[in-house]
Amino acid sequence: MPTGEPSARASRPYIGGQAVLEGVMMRAPTSFAVVVRRRDGSLQVRERAMVDGRRGVARWPFVRGVASLVESLRLGSEALRFSAFGLSLLSMATADDGTPVQSAGGGRKLGTWLMLIVAVSLFVALPQGAAAGVNRLLGLNLEVQSPAFQAITGAFKLAIVVGYLLLIRRVPDIRRVFQYHGAEHKTISTYEANEALTVENARAKTTMHPRCGTTFLVMVALVSILVFITIGQALPRIHTGSAILDNVAFFLEKLPFLPVIAAVTFEIQRVFARYCTTGPLRVVLWPGFLVQKITTAEPDDAQLEVALASLRVTLFRQEEGQTSEVNDDVAFPTYDALLGAERLRAA
């Protein structure tokens, strides 16, 4: 999911995105859309205008990183809920002439806090616990705040991130999500190249993108390793007499630094995406691109249609704002029917 801000064409709205179950979510500064391919081949759409949250203090360096992350989690959870709900429906009524029929949205918003807790448990608590196990098993007697212990924790953190992604890639449904992830990247790259939003143009683009959320995740892991190796011993000393309690206490000490690490990583990725996409400096993007090879796959044309549809609807709502009626949950029998409806609405 591309994050941050684009490096060029300030007059054009910034677009971010996320792959979901059989679909793609796109986000512009003042609009949001999710398009999902139903089992019957129809496209189910949710779209609306939004207030640009990147204003005032939220635009300040470092603050904007945390604000962007919170918004991404909130919109991403809604998009995932919508896609799961859409796939759970067995059929969708449409008129013979292809006119979309309003359908019922439903379900409560997924808990963003639950997603955060799972992420912290998997990518922060588990690596430290694994490092503590190795420390004890090998009799290293390393203090939990020592640079060596933090280096071991960091190695486990990277291994868990990569291993987790490799594992879930083997699940057929997740593999399809990764194809939609590739379609999302190709579509956004087509838009950023100022090319027509067609399947042919998008097909030619790479599945890699410098502002991808996968790259952000890898960079967060790398930055956190450097931060805690550097500041671990500077934090208040922990000597409870119990290795388990020492680890728990240090884990709690690290939690307040997570937003700071996310904010710093956001700014680093923003600089890399702006200045390192071409030439020899592109090498700094390679670690993220290597992991993106796990989380993206080549999409087929039908998946590209979904991503392109999501971007077209997002751009339409970005331009129209609140001036036209918004249907939260609408179905179109085909991609061409959606394009025709958008042309009619924009006429």
Please answer whether residues 157 and 280 qualify as being in contact, where contact means their C-beta atoms are separated by less than 8 angstroms: no
- Between the alpha carbon of residue 160 and those of residues 102, 123, 163, 167, 217, the distances in Å are 43, 7, 5, 10, 12
For residue 23, is pLDDT > 90?
A: yes
Please answer whether residues 20 and 5 qualify as being in contact, where contact means their C-beta atoms are separated by less than 8 angstroms: no
Q: Count Cβ atoms below 10 Å from residue 32 Cβ, excluding itself.
A: 22
- CA dist., res. 332 & res. 110, Å (int): 26
Burial 213-233 (b: 16+ CB within 10 A, else e): bbbbbbbbbbbbbebbbeebe
Give the predicted TM-score (pTM) of the model.
0.83
pLDDT digits (tens, 9 = 90+) for 192-214: 999 999 999 999 999 999 999 99
Angle 220-222-227 from CA coordinates, rounded to 5°: 90
Specify the higher pLDDT residue, 262 or 8: 262
Beta bridge partners of 38: none
Average pLDDT, the chain: 83
Angle 125-126-127 from CA coordinates, rounded to 5°: 95
Residues with Cβ within 8 Å of 170's Cβ and at least 6 positions away in sequence, in order, are: none
Please answer whether residues 190 and 197 qualify as being in contact, where contact means their C-beta atoms are separated by less than 8 angstroms: yes
- The token pair at 132 is 């503590």
Please answer whether residues 31 and 50 qualify as being in contact, where contact means their C-beta atoms are separated by less than 8 angstroms: yes
pLDDT digits (tens, 9 = 90+) for 277-323: 887 878 888 889 999 999 999 999 999 999 999 999 999 988 887 65
For residue 95, is pLDDT > 50?
A: no
Residues with Cβ within 8 Å of 306's Cβ and at least 6 positions away in sequence, in order, are: 22, 23, 24, 35, 36, 37, 43, 180, 183, 335
Counted residue by residue, the chain has a size of: 347
- CA dist., res. 152 & res. 131, Å (int): 6
| Selection from 125, 82, 75 nearest residue 105 by Cα | 82
- Between the alpha carbon of residue 267 and those of residues 206, 217, 219, 315, the distances in Å are 24, 13, 11, 26
Residue-level pLDDT at 80: 86
